[in-house]
Amino acid sequence: MQVLHTVAELRTSLAGKTGTAFVPTMGNLHAGHVSLVELAKQHGQPVVASIFVNPLQFGAGEDFERYPRTLDADCNKLAAAGCDIVFAPAVSELYPVPQSFTVQPSDSLTRDLDGAFRPGHFNGVATVVLKLFNLVQPRVAVFGKKDCQQLLVIRELVRQFNLPIEIVAGDTLREADGLAMSSRNGYLDASERIQAVRLQHELATIRASVESGERDYASLSATACRHLKMAGWRVDYIELRDAMNLQTPAPDSRQLVVLGAAWLGKTRLIDNLDFDLPAQA
């Protein structure tokens, strides 16, 4: 496996290759990331993974400085998973001059949910992903479903810029108790780790209620928020949306997703569960 740090090295290594599969990450990898690499191997070769903590997507007071940088351990996991190339640039390599040109995603996709609580976040995500797509020029790129809003932003980015890239979504991997795997789970202390699965439990309760015929989505969300707050969480949002566009479900919406973001102590956790309703008779 090659570990490359410069744009020039990356371009030289990928010259003439047309079937590349790409997995962008911020490092501090866990089994969920490894599963994305394994999925990428089914769709293209060589498999390229990037490791880059992108300053553009972190807002004031967020965890850019303390976000774990674990390059050696990450490379060991990627090599074991069969990754061919790791691209791990410095900030100065990817942003050699101030990034005054940025991508502004559609307001309809980013004005609420995480977009409301992390202003500018998706601008930073879309900008760095477009830059990485330009450098790697993959045929396929793999993203995890856990970042549901991000996945839809990337799909729309590819569509509107006419990029010849297939976006493949990898399922969320979970711990034995149901907690979605996340690099930020490492911030949780022992007591918080026990509590952390509550978010997934509340989302699962909403899903079960909707599948049973409940349609008062606002009431379901309010109940879930109340339960978390009573347990000491600070809730950003819990919402039931149309999985295709993240808008409020229409009466005929069949593909749904329930999303949540909440703080447990100093750690912000996100999760979502997507599901299909049976077609109406």
pLDDT tens-digit series, residues 176-224: 999 999 999 999 999 999 999 999 999 999 999 999 999 999 999 999 9
Summarised one tens digit per residue, pLDDT across range 115-149 is: 999 999 999 999 999 999 999 999 999 999 999 99
**Overall average pLDDT of the 75-97 stretch:** 97
Separation of alpha carbons 17 and 13, rounded Å? 9
- Tell me the two tokens of residue 110: 């980013």
pLDDT band at 281 (very low <50, low <70, confident <90, very high): very low
User: What was the pLDDT predicted at 279?
Assistant: 76
Domain boundaries, the chain: 2-170, 183-272
Q: Are 13 and 47 in contact (CB under 8 A)?
A: no
Q: Which helix (H) or strand (E) is 170 found in, with range?
A: strand 166-170
Summarised one tens digit per residue, pLDDT across range 237-256 is: 999 999 999 999 998 899 99
Summarised one tens digit per residue, pLDDT across range 21-31 is: 999 999 999 99
Q: Are 157 and 163 in contact (CB under 8 A)?
A: yes
Pick the CATH number of 183-272 from 1.10.10.10, 3.40.190.10, 3.40.50.150, 3.30.1300.10: 3.30.1300.10
Active site residue 227: no
User: What was the pLDDT predicted at 280?
Assistant: 67
Pick the CATH number of 2-170 from 3.50.20.10, 3.40.50.1820, 1.10.10.10, 3.40.50.620: 3.40.50.620
pLDDT band at 61 (very low <50, low <70, confident <90, very high): confident
- Name every residue whose Cβ is closer than 8 Å to that of residue 220 and which is 6 or more positions away in sequence: 205, 206, 209, 210, 214, 240
**Overall average pLDDT of the 96-114 stretch:** 94
Catalytic residue among 5, 30, 33, 43: 33
